[in-house]
Structure 1
Amino acid sequence: MAFLDIEHLEKSFGATKVVKDFTLDVEQGEFVSFLGPSGCGKTTTLRMVAGFETPSTGTIRIDGKDIVRLRPNQRNIGMVFQSYALFPNLTVAQNVAFGLKVQGADKGLIRERVAEMLDIIGLPELGDRYPFQLSGGQQQRVALARALAVRPKVLLLDEPLSALDAKIRISLRTEIRAIQQKLGITTIYVTHDQEEALSMSDRIVVMHEGIADQVGTPFEIYNQPKTRFVASFVGTLNLLEAEVIDPASGHVRIGGTEARLGRPLPAGRVTLAARPEMISLGAASGRETALQGRIVDVDFLGSVIRLRADVAGAVLAFDTFNDPQRVPPRMGDTVTVSLAARDLLLIGG
């Protein structure tokens, strides 16, 4: 049995079902992200685990214990919100100590735990300050320390970085992951930011319209998407329509070019997909399928040139490195792009 076991969880608000038959096993110490657009059910699922929403049906067990009927403060769960939710009239140290005081911990333990938490989040000298005297990133670190101070069995984070600027988000997500790994705490992280999910997670649950569309490692989610939604939501995706000539061998025609994928395909017409990094400008070793196209957009970004080309009736986006000795293509230029047919993804429903 997994440490956090969620089975057939559903939640309806009136006639609207926002979470549908959600099942997930999370191992102890695992970092799992719920990834998806607004309204997909990821925060509602998190709130049911936390106890802030009651499931319509389903079970939630932590370490073998059913917690569905327990109040939030009985579940031994730490929660970090997007809005920090710090007490403005309490100092940093008092905020971190709050949960311990509610538990009735003795003063010596509280002082020791607060000092430990402030050291872990890298703010040992700021215990006497108030939240308004801290930056957004520092406030979120304090919120994390407060959640961890009570030694919860599970840590839940609901879009904790979305209110911060880009540079701070990148730095803080690295710190959160390092702290989680150091403490070995089982963690569920809700985000709509695919880069956050890919960089931080042991596994990702991609959610769409209340359903877990796919569960897998970041590598699997990005490279082996199971549905059209997962393929299009995670990363940039180029779609190519192809006619299957021989289903058994995966022999297809893309525009006027034939290619062999080397794996069985359904008969008829199929949609294939290629990530930008699968496409090269001109000939490239190991990329045997050459397609003709016309450049429709060029963005010079310094070390990288981002290109878009009309190929076989589809606009493909891909990057090439800047070469000072080579002038990049211009809009309207006819070009050859190459890719390995075996890397093309077959996109399902």
Structure 2
Amino acid sequence: MSFLDITHLEKSFGAVRVVKDFNLSVEKGEFISLLGPSGCGKTTVLRMVAGFEEPSSGAIRIGGTDVVGKRPNQRNIGMVFQAYALFPNLTVAGNVGFGLKIKGTPRAEIDARVAEMLALIGLPDLGGRYPFQLSGGQQQRVALARALAPKPQVLLLDEPLSALDAKVRVSLRNEIRAIQRDLGITTIFVTHDQEEALSISDRIVVMNGGVADQVGTPFEIYNRPNTRFVANFVGQLNVFRADAGGRIGGVEVGQGEYAARPESLHLGHAEGADIRLAATVAEVHFLGSVIRLGATVAGVDKGVALDIFNRPDAPPPQVGQKIDLSLSSRDLIRLQ
């Protein structure tokens, strides 16, 4: 049995089923992301694991014990919220030690654990400050330290980075992952940001309409999506429809619709790429190390996008320029 087992979990609010037969097994020390758009049920699943919502049906087992019906403080779970939820009247040290104080931990043990946690999050000298004296990134680090201080079995993070600016978000997500690996704590991370989920997860659960559409590693989710929703939601897609003879670019692939990621397309005739397409450059977006081209292709309604690496000695094609594109039929994703 896995460390955290969620089986046949359901949640309805009135006549609306928000979570539908959700199943997930998590190994001890795994980092799992629940990924999906707003309203897909990911936060509701997290709140049921935490004990803030009661399931309509199903079981949640932590270490073999069903925790459904237990209060949040009986589950030995740490929770980090989107809006920090720090106590404004308590210092940083007071916030971090709050859970330990509630448990009746001796003062000396609290002080030692708080110092340990502040060192872990890289804020060893800020214990005397109040939340309003901290940046957003620092406040979220304190929230993380508060959640970890009581040594929970499971760490739950509900979109903890969405209120931060882009640079801080990337830095802090890497810090969270490093701390999680260091402690070996089983973690569930809720996000709507595909890049976040792909960059830090052991496995990703892509949710859609209350259902887990696909569970897999980032590599599997991105390269081998099981459903059209997963294929469209995770990363950008170019969609090709085979002609009446089941061909794309003169290569027989079978009837239906297929997709290819922008990085699968090549400018010019690449070795091993059997599909060739004539195109016209419609857009050029310089993104630093990568340049994304948008191009029109006969028979492709929305055109295609492809990524090429920036080279100082080779300027990208210009809008209106005729180009040849190529890709391998092996890189096509069949859309179900």
TM superposition score normalised by structure 1: 0.93
Q: Which amino acid in 2 is paired with 1:273?
A: A
Q: Is the Cα contact below 8 Å between 1:293 and 1:334 reproduced in 2?
A: yes
User: CA deviation digits over 1:88-141, x for unaligned, max 9?
Assistant: 010001101000011111111111111111110011100111101110000000
- Mapped partners of 1:97, 1:177: distance in 2: 22
Give per-residue Cα distances to partners, 1:255-280, cap 9 Å, x unaligned. xx32145xxx5xxx311000000001
- Superposed counterparts of 1:311-326, under 5 Å: 311-314=297-300, 315-326=303-314
The offset of 1:312, in angstroms, is 3.1
| Cα distance in 1 between the residues matched to 2:121 and 2:287 | 35
Which residue does the alignment assign to 1:87? 87
Per-residue deviation, 1:327: 4.3
My pick for the range that moved more, 305-314 or 339-348, is 305-314
**Counterpart selection for 2:281 from 286, 295, 312:** 295
TM-superposed deviation, 1:319: 1.7
The residue that corresponds to 1:346 in the other structure is 334
Deviations 1:299-341 (A, max 9, x none): 2344433211112322100122334444432222221100011
The alignment of Structure 1 onto Structure 2 pairs a total of residues equal to 334
Partner letter of residue 151 of structure 1?
K
C-alpha contact (below 8 Å) 1:260/1:342 kept by paired residues: no
Q: Which residue of 2 aligns with 1:45?
A: 45
- Greater Cα shift, 69-78 or 329-338: 329-338
Partner of 1:231: 231
Instruction: Give the whole-Å Cα distance in 2 for the aligned partners of 1:244 and 1:342.
Output: 20
In structure 1, the partner of 2:296 is 310
The answer for the alignment partner of 1:249 in structure 2 is none
Deviates more, 1:297-306 or 1:188-197: 297-306
Quick one: distance in 2 between partners of 1:56 and 1:327? 59
Matched-pair identity in %? 68
Taking structure 2 as the reference length, the TM-score comes to 0.97
Quote the residue 2:251 is aligned against. 259
Any gaps of 5 or more consecutive residues in structure 1? 246-251
Matched residue type, 1:168: V
The one-letter code matched in structure 1 to 2:22 is F
Shift of 1:290: 1.0
Where does residue 201 of structure 2 map in the other structure? 201
Question: Which residue pairs with 1:248 in the alignment?
Answer: none
Q: Hey, what's the Cα distance between the residues in 2 that align with 1:123 and 1:311?
A: 54
Residues 14 and 297 of structure 1: CA distance in aligned 2, closer, same or farther (over 3 Å): same
Q: Which residue of 1 aligns with 2:214?
A: 214
Residues 85 and 270 (structure 1 numbering): CA distance in 2 closer, same or farther, change over 3 Å? Answer: same
In the alignment, what sits opposite 2:14? Answer: 14
Which moved further from structure 2: 181-190 or 330-339?
330-339
